[in-house]
Amino acid sequence: MKPTRFVVTALLVFLMLAFVAQNAAPLDVRFLGWTFSVSGVVLLALTCGAGILIGLLIGRPWRRPKPKQDYARVKTPDEKQ
């Protein structure tokens, strides 16, 4: 991993952890007609994890490697001997 990328990633993780630590109060969540109470830490961790997973799935699609083309030279009738 490049040093700049590591520093940016570490900074973002630190900021996320600081934000989560300050929002630990229980929250009432309403989703598709259901209502439940959950800690803010759990809710933020779940949404952050879902965002990371979606970003990885969209940003790095699984592709089969393209087959290498054979650029063999076609021999002319004079060269077939």
pTM, rounded to two decimals: 0.52
pLDDT at residue 1, rounded to an integer: 59
Averages of pLDDT over each 10 residues, the chain, 81 residues: 82 86 83 87 85 82 62 65 56
Q: How many structural domains comprise the chain?
A: 1
Answer yes or no: is 39 within a domain: yes
**Domain range holding 36?**
3-62
Answer yes or no: is 30 within a domain: yes
Answer yes or no: is 47 within a domain: yes
Answer yes or no: is 72 within a domain: no
pLDDT at residue 11, rounded to an integer: 92
Question: What single-letter amino acid sits at 28?
Answer: D
- What tokens does 62 get? 């699984």
What is the C-alpha separation between 6 and 16, in angstroms, rounded?
A: 15
Answer yes or no: is 75 within a domain: no
Answer yes or no: is 21 within a domain: yes
